[in-house]
A and B are shown apart, each in its own frame.
Chain A
Amino acid sequence: MADERDFLSEQRERFETFKGQALGGDTQSTGESDEKADEQIEKAKEASEKPVMAEEKEIGEGAESPKGPVGLDIGTSHIVAAQEKGTHIHAVKQLNAFFTVPKSKFSRSILNKNQVMYYERENLFYVIGYSAESFANMFNMNNRKPIKGGLLSSDEEEGLSVIQAIVNTLIRKPRNFGEPLCFVIPGEPFDGRDSVVYHESVINRFIGGMGYSPISINEGMAVVMSELSADDYTGIGISMGGGMCNVCLSYLSFPVITYSIQTAGDYVDSMTGRAVGEPATKIKGIKEQELDLTKEPQDRIMTALHIFYEELIFRLLQSFQRVLTSTDKIPKISNPIPIILSGGTATPNGCRERFEKVLRSIKLPVEISGVRLAGDPLNAPAKGALIMAMTEAG
């Protein structure tokens, strides 16, 4: 499996080289048209220092047509769109979930009356975003997800159309055709079960179809772009999401190592749920509201959450150690490098400290200067994608 992954990543790099050559001629010069590129990079660096103002998309609120570059993070739990707006980065998010209701005149009038976001296909109404969560709670059922384990779910035939509909609630067609939009993609899964190629290509097509110039960025790299401008974009970006943990070791903004593990927040929820006999959605709610990893657990749900959180961090760092010690791609790095944690799963109080504790017990071929939590962990990948889009603009 590891050989296969190496082969795939090698092919990918060759493709990237080819793509670079196809776009930029046979040779890539640092001397030609550099001033403009440097100017764009400076603008992007400035943007990375701006604070993120985040908002959840209200039900019934219309999407805007962006002017300027856009960053888009299509995650397992949420979809986040980021744009630069004067003194800050504006991030708007929507739940990446749906719920189906049989089509009828009555249900249509209920949906319209309650300003629920939905679209219709064949004999069903597809209720999307936060509306789906409200509906699922109303019927005491789980909502459905178009992304599973960080990638387009093969179980959901309508997954892509749901994602399209949700993205359309956040952003519409750009005001200027061909505006750059950078979307976040996961790294190739560590255990090699799934591939990112289909996921990336399909999203690339639909973004292109909206009138944007799509570019993709690895999720861990997006974290690096968002948080490590002061470190010359050298360090390790980790995004701990719902379906996946994504890791990128970047050297001077080059993603030297990228991979993912399909074990993340959802795993903690479902394993805890199984251990204590409660539904995963209930555990998720408790985890998001109450979990504090610095405090001793007082009940069995908290005990189980602590256990599975520790296991997740251990698995993540174990994979990291295996990947780093089995590669010859890492250049000599003269100074210790930072690790940045981001994503919803990294947000509970004490997660960073737990991570540091497990990190101390493993040996890595690179020296680590410290572990930091991203400024805005939930929106860091979308912000990083926006910064990448800005470097490509103009």
Chain B
Amino acid sequence: MPSQVIIFSTDSLRGGIIQEVLKRSGLESLLAGRLLEAGQAIADNAPRVVIFDTKGIFPDELNLLKNLCRALRDTGVLVLGDRSIVDTFSGEGIQNGLCLSDPLDPDLIASEVKQMILSPKTKEKRLQRDDLESDLKQFLKLD
């Protein structure tokens, strides 16, 4: 069964905590430690929500992440990390996006993810799966 939530985090502790809290809220998720894996997981699963944890990622990865966010027009996006980094995502035109700066607040993340999944906007846009796949294939250079 495809996962509704994909988590990208290079920090195994933070990623693991988010995954565990989501599990306790009844949400199955996939955790990816590398950006390309996250992109592939998104393409394979067409999730409703993607969580990007920017903690500890390299500047080059940050630019790739922003490109990936732009490609995710129809998926709920949650960006986490230091305020200085998270704030740079605000102007990136992420639709359905939400930025939460540190400290990591697992309970808030779980409640926001639940809301995003229940949001009719996300549900409706998720139907446009073909668009998502083609955008991601472009991002992953799979075409």
Is B93 in contact with chain A by the CB < 8 A criterion?
no
B24 cross-chain contacts in A, Cβ below 8 A: 252
0/1 string, A5-40, CB within 8 A of B gives 1: 000001001101110110000111111000000000
| Cβ-defined partner of B13 (8 Å) among A18, A31, A329, A334 | A329
Q: Flag if A254 contacts B103 (CB, 8 Å).
A: no
A251 to B30, CA, bound (A): 20
Q: Is the CB of A30 within 8 A of B37?
A: no
> With A17-B12, A20-B33 given, is the CB distance from A30 to B28 under 8 Å?
yes
Contacts of A10 in B (CB 8 A): 56
Q: Chain A residues near B130 (CB, 8 Å)?
A: none
Chain B residues touching A, range = 35 or more
Given the interface pairs A332-B104, A332-B105, the reply to whether A27 lies near B30 with Cβ below 8 Å is yes
> Taking chain A's interface residues, is the majority helix, strand, or loop, or is none over half, making it mixed?
mixed
Closest to B9 in A: A17
Interface string of B28-41 (1 = CB under 8 A from A): 11111110010011
Interface flag for B3 (CB, 8 Å): yes
Q: Does A141 contact B (CB under 8 A)?
A: no
**With A and B bound together, what is the CA distance between A18 and B22 in angstroms?**
22
Is A243 close to B, CB under 8 A? no
Cβ of B92 within 8 Å of any chain A Cβ, yes or no, is no
Contact B33 A256 (CB under 8 A): no
Whether A27 touches B13, Cβ cut-off 8 Å, given contacts A328-B102, A331-B106, is: no
B103 and A328 form a contact (CB under 8 A):
yes
Contact A31 B28 (CB under 8 A): yes
| A31 and B104 form a contact (CB under 8 A) | no
Interface string of B13-50 (1 = CB under 8 A from A): 11111011111100011111110010011000000000
Chain A residues close to B by CB (< 8 Å): 10, 13-14, 16-18, 20-21, 26-31, 251-256, 328-332, 334
